[in-house]
Chain A
Amino acid sequence: MTTNVPQPPPEDDLPCAVFVEMVTDYLEGSIPGDLRVRLEQHLAICPGCTSVLDQIDRLIRLAGRITEDDVDALQPAQRDEILAAFRQARHPD
């Protein structure tokens, strides 16, 4: 098997394949202390996993740009209709 990446030192026992499944949990802060430390030690020496973390972080920020342009805006006629319903609604008591 060929490889073009330097292999991590033996004390890093966290497989990259495991790390990439924990990225969301890591970002959500739902990884407990000891494991979190191991993840961070791994990140410090693994450019591949660092890239994936950075990419997920970027795509979250990009997603924030998919906003109102994705859907039709509330049309004035529909807005008026909804507001009229609100005005006409009677108190229950």
Chain B
Amino acid sequence: MDGRPALADSVVAFDDDVVLVGCLRDRDEAAFTWLLDRYDGCLRRVAMSYVGNRAIADEVVQETWMGVVSGIARFEGRSSVKTWIFRILVNIARARGIREHRSIPFASASRALEDGAGPAIDPDRFLTAPAADPTGHWVSFPLAWEHEPEERLEAAETVAVMREAMADLPPAQREVMTLRDVDGWTSVEVCDALNISETNQRVLLHRARSKVRRALEQYFEGASA
């Protein structure tokens, strides 16, 4: 061990890619276990959005980890370990998606952007008739959720409505929203892993959130009607 701190008491140091990669190359099992526990769930969620079948997602994740094992020696540190692993997964999942005849997120960035494009809020909710009032202000305000009891906002059922709304999103939007909002990735990490521009990432995220917001709004309004 070339001057790195003793690993038994430095688990936190795996957050540092330089330490992590060094340990992985030294076949430090604690480092690999840390990686496995940290990213396996996230990899599974994203694999699901490509292949839509738990058994196949399971194989994709397994193949990804094997790719990590065999590829770590060639990892050049141009991206973070996290996005490197993720790109391995995306490539395997895309190949499987083709085999399973599923639509492929990001096959074409422009197509992905057109997919499910639409305004964040139904235009009928704004004053737009040019002669009457071209200001684009609200016809009626959206129902403020702060009037919903807190326990209802946080209820498992609300989370279930949200999960369903996300499942209905076009794949590229679901992908970005899953990584950003469910797994808490930064926009830089998402752009890097999915190889999309910052602008495309924001557009996809905005469309995804807008649709999920709409689904939650309908759920709350329907339930309080």
Q: Is the CB of A63 within 8 A of B202?
A: no
Q: Is the CB of B36 within 8 A of A74?
A: yes
Q: Is the CB of A78 within 8 A of B62?
A: yes
Whether, in the assembled complex, B87 has its beta carbon less than 8 Å from a beta carbon of chain A, the answer is: no
With a cutoff of 8 Å between Cβ atoms, the chain A residues found around residue B145 in the complex are 51, 54-55, 58
Q: Is the CB of B126 within 8 A of A86?
A: no
Q: Is the CB of B137 within 8 A of A56?
A: no
Task: Tell me the bound Cα distance from A30 to B27 in angstroms.
Answer: 42
CB distance from A83 to the nearest CB of B (A): 7
With a cutoff of 8 Å between Cβ atoms, the chain A residues found around residue B135 in the complex are 7-8, 15
CB 8 Å contact bits of A5-21 with B (1 = contact, 0 = none): 10110000001111011
Task: Tell me the bound Cα distance from A49 to B146 in angstroms.
Answer: 14
CB distance from B26 to the nearest CB of A (A): 9
CB 8 Å contact bits of B149-160 with A (1 = contact, 0 = none): 000011000110
Q: Is the CB of B126 within 8 A of A72?
A: no
CB 8 Å contact bits of B102-136 with A (1 = contact, 0 = none): 00000000000000000111010011110011011
With a cutoff of 8 Å between Cβ atoms, the chain A residues found around residue B61 in the complex are 74
> For the side of the interface on B, what is the size category?
35 or more
Q: Of B48, B154, B181, which one neighbours A60 at CB under 8 angstroms?
A: B181
With a cutoff of 8 Å between Cβ atoms, the chain A residues found around residue B121 in the complex are 17, 20, 52
Task: Tell me the bound Cα distance from A22 to B20 in angstroms.
Answer: 38
Q: Is the CB of A82 within 8 A of B62?
A: yes
Q: Of A23, A65, A72, which one neighbours B58 at CB under 8 angstroms?
A: A72
Whether, in the assembled complex, A92 has its beta carbon less than 8 Å from a beta carbon of chain B, the answer is: yes
Q: Is the CB of A65 within 8 A of B140?
A: no
Task: Tell me the bound Cα distance from A1 to B129 in angstroms.
Answer: 9
Q: Is the CB of B182 within 8 A of A63?
A: yes
CB distance from B24 to the nearest CB of A (A): 9
Residue of B nearest to A2 (CB): B139
- A residues sitting closer than 8 Å to B (CB atoms) are 1-5, 7-8, 15-18, 20-21, 23-25, 28, 30, 46-49, 51-52, 54-56, 58-60, 62-68, 70-74, 78-79, 81-83, 85-87, 89, 91-92
- B residues sitting closer than 8 Å to A (CB atoms) are 25, 27, 29, 32-33, 36, 40-41, 44-45, 48, 54, 57-58, 61-62, 65-66, 69-70, 73-74, 119-121, 123, 126-129, 132-133, 135-146, 153-154, 158-159, 162-163, 166, 177, 181-182, 184, 187, 198, 202, 205-206, 209-210, 212-213, 216-217
Name the 3 nearest CB pairs between A and B, nearest first.
Answer: A15-B136, A63-B181, A24-B206
Q: List 26 A-B contacts (CB under 8 A).
A: A2-B139, A5-B139, A7-B135, A17-B126, A21-B120, A25-B202, A28-B202, A48-B142, A49-B138, A58-B153, A59-B209, A59-B212, A59-B216, A60-B181, A62-B158, A66-B162, A66-B163, A68-B41, A70-B163, A71-B45, A71-B54, A83-B29, A83-B32, A83-B36, A91-B73, A92-B74
